[in-house]
Structure 1
Amino acid sequence: MFYCMKKQTTHRVLTGIMALILASAVGGMALGTDPQVAEVQSHAWGLSFQQENQPPSAELTSDELAPYDAYYCGQQGTKRLYITFDAGYENGNTAPILDALKKHNAQAAFFVVGTYIEENPELVKRMVDEGHLVGNHTWHHPDLSQTDRATFEKELLDVEEIFGQVTGQEMPKFYRPPEGKFSDENLVWAKEMGYKTILWSLAYVDWNTEDQPTRDKAFSKLLPRTHDGAIVLLHSTSATNAQILDELLSKWEEMGYTFGSLTELGAPAQQ
């Protein structure tokens, strides 16, 4: 199987989503309008690391997420990492991050908000030119778990539009929920828009620009949590990440890892 499995007892199956889909299919009802439909659940993505260099436990399993083209981890048993960055704004750290990725011939995915593309077109074009995926992190970075479908779609479509204007290309269909907050309906809507929803299985507290971790602190958090198939979440605003990325990529390579593309997620396992 391609996806990470939780080692502890799995949490509830996404019964709310299944009920929503059934309600939509039977009688043409709009999602969430039938009082008999199970209550739509909201989620705030979090992880619990139980064992060193093993996948974390998460609220939803890969098997529960997979029918909706949603992923937080890749294939177990292969030394593959998927590096992603969230980019809400630019503060000078993205260029050295791109330099380090280029040095190691490592592809990454940058999940950007609409204003990032608007304000940093040359950096976005560089990401594309150097083979990185530029994913959709919505225009305003809102909590979409409490919103309606029209608002959800507009947040993604507006980013697609500015990306096309800047690059002349269609935006890759990869979406990351802001702050990791999403509802069952969001998963359905994203899939119906052609998107894969990308969560993560490896992260650390790197987002606070006023309290950046030291090099040693970063390595003490990241390296023991590294595991096969990890989708790594980093922030491109982190000065620490910009400083350590070259060394971090080298350490991962020494651990036997190679760097993959999110396009691999959901593909049949290689024989």
Structure 2
Amino acid sequence: MKFKILCSSLIPLILAVLLPNTNELNWYTIPNNNGVPPTMPGEIEELVKENSAYYVGDRTKKELYLTFDEGYENGYTSPVLDTLKKQNVKAAFFVVKPYIDTNKELVNRMAKEGHLVCNHSWHHPSMAKISDMDKFTSELREVENTYKETTGLEMPKFFRPPMGKYSELSLNYTKQLGYKTIFWSMAYFDWDVNKQPDKQQAMEKLLKRTHNGSIILLHTVSKTNAEILHELINKWKAEGYTFKTLNELP
């Protein structure tokens, strides 16, 4: 009897050790502003590697990965696509299901022009707070299905956690579903449409933060981003950078 009681009391402790952690974490990086990738704590680096997650590409090559988050349309995605087409640069657009539902023409254009249209969830929740595997799966599958219905194509298996919120468990679930989690190594405050950054300051900030293998996060709701993108790409090219797609991550 004592043995049974002891075993039952140990089970929660054993599970706590064996199962992935459910604590919510917030992804962020501290820029070095000197052409060097941000340094992450060792336990975060290990967690990223174990779960097919990325925040940076090859640190030895002058390559950039341009990514955009699409929560809703603010009139600037089309100009961004125009610029990318002129510059012959391919990017990744992370979309939520409602964005696809209400912007089918733009989503089809992204795909037809060779960009990756990737998963940003159905409802834009903190994925760290979804411990039920079925609910977690539906957040991704609904976007996949809607994208295929819209374009006739399979959605690339790249996922960006909404708001950068994640846990060890959410990364594990994402990997089980065949996805690579895509964080970022450089970004800036560009998502508040009522507090748009000054164009010159935004340009200077982004150029300072650029480094080999940068995975760059920008938001297409930003008027500033749409206005500086052409010149920004020109400056990156002048500095010797080339652009890669997420499919080319090492």
Deviates more, 1:222-231 or 1:66-75: 66-75
Query: Do the aligned partners of residues 151 and 103 (structure 1) sit closer, same or farther apart at CA in structure 2, a change above 3 Å counting?
Result: same
Whether 2:65 is the aligned partner of 1:82: answer yes
Query: Do the aligned partners of residues 204 and 35 (structure 1) sit closer, same or farther apart at CA in structure 2, a change above 3 Å counting?
Result: closer
Structure 2 unpaired stretches of 5+: 1-12
The answer as to whether partners of 1:62 and 1:73 remain within 8 angstroms in 2 is no
One-letter code of the match for 1:37?
L
The answer as to whether partners of 1:46 and 1:58 remain within 8 angstroms in 2 is no
One-letter code of the match for 2:201?
K
CA distance in 2, matches of 1:201, 1:166: 31
Q: What is the match of residue 171 of structure 1?
A: 155
Higher RCO (CA < 8 A, seq sep 6+): 2
CA distance in 2, matches of 1:224, 1:51: 5
How many angstroms does 1:67 deviate by?
2.6
Q: What is the match of residue 123 of structure 1?
A: 106
Whether 2:25 is the aligned partner of 1:43: answer yes
Query: Do the aligned partners of residues 169 and 33 (structure 1) sit closer, same or farther apart at CA in structure 2, a change above 3 Å counting?
Result: farther
How many angstroms does 1:48 deviate by?
1.0
Deviations 1:138-178 (A, max 9, x none): 01100111112222111100000100000001111000000
One-letter code of the match for 2:130?
T
Deviations 1:54-76 (A, max 9, x none): 11123555454123110000001
One-letter code of the match for 2:113?
E
CA distance in 1, matches of 2:110, 2:63: 21
TM-score of the two chains, using structure 1 as the length reference: 0.83
Paired residues, what number? 235
One-letter code of the match for 1:160?
E
TM-score of the two chains, using structure 2 as the length reference: 0.90
User: 1:216-255 to 2 correspondence within 5 Å?
Assistant: 216-255=200-239
- Residue 184 (structure 1) aligned to one of 168, 175, 185: 168
Q: What is the match of residue 10 of structure 1?
A: none
What RMSD in Å do the two structures reach over aligned CA positions?
1.6
The structure with the larger Rg is 2
- Residue 154 (structure 1) aligned to one of 116, 134, 138: 138
Kindly, what percent of the aligned residue pairs are identical?
Answer: 48
The answer as to whether partners of 2:32 and 2:209 remain within 8 angstroms in 1 is no
- Residue 143 (structure 1) aligned to one of 121, 126, 134: 126
CA distance in 1, matches of 2:223, 2:145: 30
How many angstroms does 1:33 deviate by?
8.7
- Residue 110 (structure 1) aligned to one of 93, 101, 126: 93
The answer as to whether partners of 1:81 and 1:257 remain within 8 angstroms in 2 is yes
Find the residue that maps to 2:15 and give its secondary structure. Answer: coil
Find the residue that maps to 1:115 and give its secondary structure. Answer: helix
One-letter code of the match for 2:39?
S
Whether 2:15 is the aligned partner of 1:34: answer yes
Deviations 1:182-236 (A, max 9, x none): 1101111111111000000010100000010111110121001000000000001
Find the residue that maps to 1:47 and give its secondary structure. Answer: coil
The answer as to whether partners of 2:22 and 2:128 remain within 8 angstroms in 1 is no
Structure 1's consecutive aligned runs of 4 or more residues displaced over 6 angstroms after TM superposition are: none
CA distance in 1, matches of 2:38, 2:236: 18
